[in-house]
Amino acid sequence: MSAQRLDGKRALVTGGARGIGRATAQAFVAAGARAVLLDRDADEAQRVAADLGNAEAHALDVTNETAVDGLIDTLAARIGRIDILVNSAGASIRKPTAELSKAEWDTVIAVNQTAIFLCSRAAARHMLKKKSGAIVNLASIMGVSGGGLYPNVSYQASKGAVVNMTRALAIDHGPQGIRVNSVNPGDVNTGMLRDEARQLSQDADAFLAEAADRPLQRMGEPREIAAAVVWLASDESSYVTGSALVVDGGGIA
């Protein structure tokens, strides 16, 4: 649909070097946008951007307030405007609560929660100047459920915060024409999930099969999450804000 085209839009994607972030950058370029990949792994982000063509990449620690403000200000001045921000950078340390250290808790909260505040605040300052923009936050079904295949209290707490921060930002910025939504994926076939499967189970195939135990009987693919992000970033969803879109193959149901 023509309203889902993003021709000429400038889209920032944190965590753009891998997984859902990478698939989102690919989907943005396919829809006509210029993608700006922001990732701690500058080398991989540069390789992805080179493959995409209409893209560029920059190193960024999304937990560093000074770095976030400085880079987003610089990008806005150079590329002219910021139309879309996707907060896709994430971290997970999956341990039973009694074994999780304060330092590990702080790491997950910093990447999954505080960084979304920092990046959204920096991008919104520029979106407010033109009274338009779209912010899409990657949350999780673990942000709307306390259970799952494994104990993961810091991840669930941070993603729950993302869902409600999304609502708060939508209310804050709605009068200025900025829409803010979250996408809540279920288990998705990414390198991170497969690494966790190897860490948590001697039989990784059995673990992944259990992760696929839902009505559609499979895990999601990164491109399927990216498609939801593109829809929320496009004019096709022009009356949608403050929403938490679940994309999980029916797992929550």
| Residues assigned a catalytic role | 155
What values do phi and psi take at 25, rounded to 5?
A: -60, -40
Integer Cα distance of 122 and 86 in angstroms: 13
d(CA 162, CA 248): 17
- In the three-class reduction of DSSP (H, G, I as helix; E, B as strand; rest coil), residue 79 is classed as helix
DSSP designation for 188: B
Cα-based distances in Å from 92 to 2, 115, 151, 227? 37, 14, 11, 23
- Joined tokens for residue 78: 């150079």
Inter-residue contact 29 to 5 (CB < 8 Å): no
Q: Where are the alpha helices (DSSP H) in the chain?
A: 19-30, 42-52, 65-79, 102-109, 115-130, 153-173, 191-200, 204-211, 222-233
Question: Per the structure block, which two tokens stand in for 214?
Answer: 């839902």
Per DSSP, what are the bridge partners of residue 14?
38
